Structures are given as C-alpha cells and as structure tokens.
Amino acid sequence: MYNPLSHPQVAHKLMLSLGHDEYVTQGGDWGYRVTRGTAHVYGHEYCKAWHTNLSRAFPPSLTSHPLLF
C-alpha cells in the first residue's frame, strides 16, 4: 500500500540497487515530497545534497514577523 513515506524508500533502494552509495536528488511539484523525504531520512549517510524548485513560503504573521506584517 502506498503512503507518502514509501516513495523516498523506493527511490533510495533503487539508487542502491544501481550501485550508487551516494547520490543527490532534485524535485519540484510532486518530486518535492520525494526529494525532501529522501534527504530527511537518508541525508546523513547517502543523500549528499538535495535541490527543490517548489518553495513553501508563508505570509508573515503579526506574531512571527511583526515588522513585516
């Protein structure tokens, strides 16, 4: 059964089966979730860098950034 955490695991297993002990990831749109998840789970040892082109920006709030509000 698919869940959001299974995609990074599948991508990681694929890279290892292809003989890559270290790799970098890139993702945008849906690939953002895979790239971020892979870097989060495997970044300490296997995923050496990650790049995304889908930034998650939130508007400033009065409590978090009062000067920008």
Q: Over the stretch 11-24, which tens digit does the pLDDT of each residue have?
A: 899 999 999 999 99
CB 38 within 8 A of CB 8: yes
Distances in Å between the alpha carbon of 49 and those of 21, 35, 42, 67? 13, 10, 10, 33
Strand partners, 27: 52
Q: What residues does each domain of the chain span?
A: 6-52
**What digits encode the pLDDT tens for the residues 21-45?**
999 999 888 888 888 889 999 988 9
**SS3 at position 53:** coil
This prediction has a pTM of 0.67
Q: Helix, strand, coil % (nearest 5) of the chain?
A: 35, 15, 50
